[in-house]
Structure 1
Amino acid sequence: MIQQPLSIIVNENGRIRRLKFNEYGGIYMPSLEWIGKEKVVNHHLEVPYHVLERQYSYDEDGQKVDDNGSENMIIHGDNLLALKSLLPKYEGRISCIYIDPPYNTGNEGWVYNDNVKDPRFEKWLGEVVGKEGDDLSRHDKWLCMMYPRLKLLQRLLADDGFIAVSVDDNEILNLGLIMDEIFGVNNRMACAPVRSEPSGGKKKTALRTGHEYILFYGKTAETNLALEGKSGGNLNLSDKWGKYRKGRELRKWGATSDRSDRPNLWFGITTPDGKVVYPVKNNGKDGYWRWGKENSFMKKILEDPSAAHWEKCSYDEGITVCGQHERWVPFEKIRDEEKFFGWNTWLDGYGTNADATSVIKSIFGDKIFDTPKPLSLIQWIISLYDSKNSIVLDSFSGSGTTAHAVLDMNAKDGGNRHFILVEMEDYADSITAERVKRAIQGYPTNKKDMLYDTPITTKNIKDGGDLFAEAKEIADDAKDSYDKVEGPKMVDGHLQVIGIEKAKEHQKGTGGNFSFYELGVPLFHGELLNEEVTIDTIREYIYFMETRQSLPEEKADEPYYLGSYVGTAYYFYYEKDEATTLNREFLHTVKTKADHYVIYADRCTLSDAELAKFQITFKKIPRDIARL
């Protein structure tokens, strides 16, 4: 019997990792250890709560307004801080989370600095690993960046929601281990490969990786996941209830199908002509039914035999039972024209990175973003949540594909989905929000023709000069016919020439709206409330921390009343310019009837006996205000 968690040192191409086996549901499961982990496991609790400051709202008529009440949000700011700021309103409410975090290629400038300081980390980098540690250290940095963000995303996710994370080969194994740890190994739904580069990718290796992955996790086992529907065949038969088609035979087939395997499923069923049949197999041996007597379908058949489809079926050649060569056999009646089942996880046909870049070029006229995701892929992910009223969050929003996908889906199916995007880079307004504006309004679509496309291989590379000359001639000839000619150029091992005709068509706008926010000031200055924060924001925060509910509308006759929840009424007696006192005079202003009261104030002059008499819990501002 294992008394203590096991640890294994893994040396992976010079990358030292420690896998620790911790108990999970009675089973010892591996968890990943890395330099700096202990500093970030609870780092999300230390992140200060910042307010969100609305900068403008954008309506579908193309106008910026002060506030249009939009539930769609684009937030500019560090996504770790922004996720914390979303908790008061959205904890446990997000239906679908999609994130495409920066891939850990080792080449990008690292902008996610959460000030995780660890002397061992710096010693390890500088003294132990040295210059060769540049590649090694990036894995620890990436994990330190991802862990607290995933912790907050897990809190925001609804109980029936799911998260989908795009990742490539560099961190797929590490990401899976930390997501197992945060979301629970039992809530892992799929690791779906996605074909991103049909040609096999830019790395010309023996095993080319022209694909990426999406890791899917639920919050609980009750994920509201839609099932894929495909035609199951025509309803070519009919009965008194309507049309149907013949389904499966109700007898169990295959291995372990003898009566002795499931004796409780051996019982008689009355046939349409009044006889009673049992689940005898074709070889004459006793078997059993697929369903028991308590199954809803079987109950209907036992009450009314015509609820099943019946056919006379023969025994095997030479077999007779009670002198009979055949007997009545019941089958299911299928009344759905579509058959529903789990989704295929090999995602081929949901768009490629090249398709995503093409959309960006159509919207902006140029490739202004390096790593967009295909619109069709994000729409497929969002559609996995079985509701048209979902809230979709993307905290690494980049070019804004997720918002575009939500708006486009709503326009097509009449849904009422909402999006929340977070982008920390300076292009949050100029690219992310701008794309959403153009999606709402519509944008021109350029026509592109592939004029020349020849793969360059080891067999024809010696003729490369002639091929280039041929492509150049085609490009020169096309200049009079097209507004722009791209090439000759190499694209994923192909020599190409593309002709572009300026848009004569216009992509219809999706409609919709959003509000743009900047990450604002922290709610607290040390232990004190920050007086720069609006009172409405403070009230919303207090009520959420007490009830985990959204703040209801203010009552005009009770300005300090927050709301009531499960028999308790909450009051926040606060003024920025003067101290407040919970006393008998204030009690006379309380009009809401409740079993219990929680009242915040700067001080209290009521005795303990009086507080008990009136069922009041006093909380001192700011000492007793809970921190997220």
Structure 2
Amino acid sequence: MPFLDWVNKAQAVEAASRVPHHLLEFQSAHGEGGAENLLIQGDNLAALKALVPSHRGQVRCICIDPPYNTQSGFELYDDKLEHAQWLSMMYPRLVLLRELLREDGSLWVTLDDNEAHYAKVLMDEVFGRENFVTSICWEKVYTLKNTAKNFSEMHDFVLVYARSQASWAANLLPRGEKQNRAFKNPDADPRGPWIDSAVHARNFYSKGSYSVVGPTGKSFSPPPGRYWTVSEENFRALDAEKRIWWGADGKNAPRKKTFLTEVKAGVVPGTIWSHEEAGHNAEAKAEIKALFGRDEEIFITPKPERLIERILHIATEPGDLVLDSFLGSGTTAAVAHKMGRRWIGVELGEHARTHCLPRLEKVVAGEQGGISESVGWKGGGGFRFYTLGERVTAPDRSSASDVSSARGSKPR
């Protein structure tokens, strides 16, 4: 398997093991219960190392939105890292994130063309190329910008990796009106609405090249290079059960009827996510403005709650633990809380206090923005706020006892 190489890669590879352990210092409790929901302010590399002893192999889904390295300067973070520096920043964090994942867990990373393709090779190295699941194209913008040079950028990538492909499986997405509208009932079949599909395919099937006769006496054979997907005996049985559709006048080539009552309760996720399905940047900015009552330009490209909801629906079940170590405006933690998942969010900047903390307090209080109405969120639960404390001299000292003892301490 090919590997990336860059200046100071050797130091980046060793960085995860060399990060000193820190205590997690309790600051405040919010809401009722929720002791496992943690908002941590501090460098995420040190915070991840602090979490490993107590949370190794416990996280079901990691959802991160790291700096895109767009060579832009933002108020809260530097997005102007030299390419090698960006790789060196990501490598040890990915190593520690992998340690935190459950065997049936998954990692979801949003990026754009600046680093997505390099990140793919980097994660192949850390997670194993065999554990790459897919690359999703999310339509973050739905209008063209005629002022753009050459192309108007309208999408981000979401790279998905499993801790172990053998143990991970995607949940189906809920069926919606869009999928159900395809089911009709033109022949008033008492079994209800149905959809028709071809009864032939390229694959060879035993006894799959016979001829059939329709209601009008017209004979049909599979198109050239194709074969019937069922045996002649099974075809006759389906026709006798009126599960073969010959068209309204009985003259069309046969197609198989599948009833709405027979289909799966959900839909297999696709790899192209439209803004109608998963939200868009403008929607995310509107959510931030509604939360804080003003334009929060410090968050240039926040993620909409619907995007995170879709990820968590596919990757988790209620009660599972979700982690975001690049928490930003707090969207992942907010959505996880509303969906009944446990969560850990890590953010370095002062906005961990000024934005993430009050946003999550509003979630606990029952704020009705974002996905609240669609998931029936009315408020409840709680969380604990921590900062990175003193460095621990013993390298193998467990943070589990540190967090446990800190919970009962008096906040500063």
TM-score of the two chains, using structure 1 as the length reference: 0.51
Residues 8-27 of structure 1 mapped to structure 2, 5 A cutoff: none
Residue 49 and residue 209 in structure 1: after superposition, are their counterparts in 2 closer, same or farther (change >3 A)? same
Q: Retained in 2: the 8 A contact 1:224–1:386?
A: no
Residue 226 and residue 330 in structure 1: after superposition, are their counterparts in 2 closer, same or farther (change >3 A)? closer
Separation (CA, whole Å) in 1 of partners of 2:314 and 2:40: 25
Using the TM superposition, give the Cα deviation of residue 346 of structure 1 relative to its aligned residue in structure 2, in angstroms. Answer: 2.3
Residues 394-543 of structure 1 mapped to structure 2, 5 A cutoff: 394-409=324-339, 416-442=340-366, 510-525=379-394, 536-537=401-402
Select the structure of larger CA radius of gyration. 1
Q: Retained in 2: the 8 A contact 1:360–1:367?
A: yes
Q: 2:19 aligns with which of 47, 58, 71?
A: 47
Using the TM superposition, give the Cα deviation of residue 243 of structure 1 relative to its aligned residue in structure 2, in angstroms. Answer: 7.6
Residue identity in the other structure for 2:333: A
**Secondary structure of the structure 2 residue equivalent to 1:438:** helix
**Secondary structure of the structure 1 residue equivalent to 2:283:** helix
Residue 169 and residue 110 in structure 1: after superposition, are their counterparts in 2 closer, same or farther (change >3 A)? farther
**Higher RCO (CA < 8 A, seq sep 6+):** 2
Residues 172-571 of structure 1 mapped to structure 2, 5 A cutoff: 172-200=116-144, 204-221=148-165, 222-228=167-173, 229=175, 230-231=179-180, 233=183, 253-257=200-204, 259=206, 280-282=210-212, 290=230, 310-311=241-242, 335-336=261-262, 338=264, 340-349=266-275, 350-368=278-296, 369-371=298-300, 372-409=302-339, 416-442=340-366, 510-525=379-394, 536-537=401-402
Using the TM superposition, give the Cα deviation of residue 97 of structure 1 relative to its aligned residue in structure 2, in angstroms. Answer: 1.2
Indicate whether 1:139 and 2:83 are aligned: yes
Separation (CA, whole Å) in 1 of partners of 2:82 and 2:132: 26
Separation (CA, whole Å) in 2 of partners of 1:313 and 1:400: 52
Larger helix proportion of the pair: 2
Deviations 1:20-48 (A, max 9, x none): xxxxxxxxx32211111111123212212
Deviations 1:558-580 (A, max 9, x none): xxxxxxxxxxxxxxxxxxxxxxx
Residue 177 and residue 511 in structure 1: after superposition, are their counterparts in 2 closer, same or farther (change >3 A)? same
Using the TM superposition, give the Cα deviation of residue 435 of structure 1 relative to its aligned residue in structure 2, in angstroms. Answer: 0.9
Residue identity in the other structure for 2:269: W
Residue identity in the other structure for 1:51: L
Separation (CA, whole Å) in 2 of partners of 1:355 and 1:173: 27
Gaps of 5+ in 1: 1-28, 61-67, 114-133, 260-265, 267-277, 292-297, 316-328, 410-415, 446-506, 541-628
Deviations 1:141-169 (A, max 9, x none): 11100111111111212222221111122
Separation (CA, whole Å) in 2 of partners of 1:200 and 1:332: 39
Residues 13-92 of structure 1 mapped to structure 2, 5 A cutoff: 29-59=1-31, 68=33, 70-92=35-57
Q: Retained in 2: the 8 A contact 1:159–1:223?
A: yes
Separation (CA, whole Å) in 1 of partners of 2:283 and 2:313: 19
Residue 361 and residue 69 in structure 1: after superposition, are their counterparts in 2 closer, same or farther (change >3 A)? closer
Residue identity in the other structure for 1:370: F
Q: Retained in 2: the 8 A contact 1:407–1:511?
A: no
Separation (CA, whole Å) in 2 of partners of 1:54 and 1:39: 32
Residue identity in the other structure for 1:233: F
Separation (CA, whole Å) in 2 of partners of 1:538 and 1:390: 20
Identity %: 30
Q: Retained in 2: the 8 A contact 1:310–1:330?
A: no
Using the TM superposition, give the Cα deviation of residue 423 of structure 1 relative to its aligned residue in structure 2, in angstroms. Answer: 0.6
Separation (CA, whole Å) in 2 of partners of 1:433 and 1:393: 16
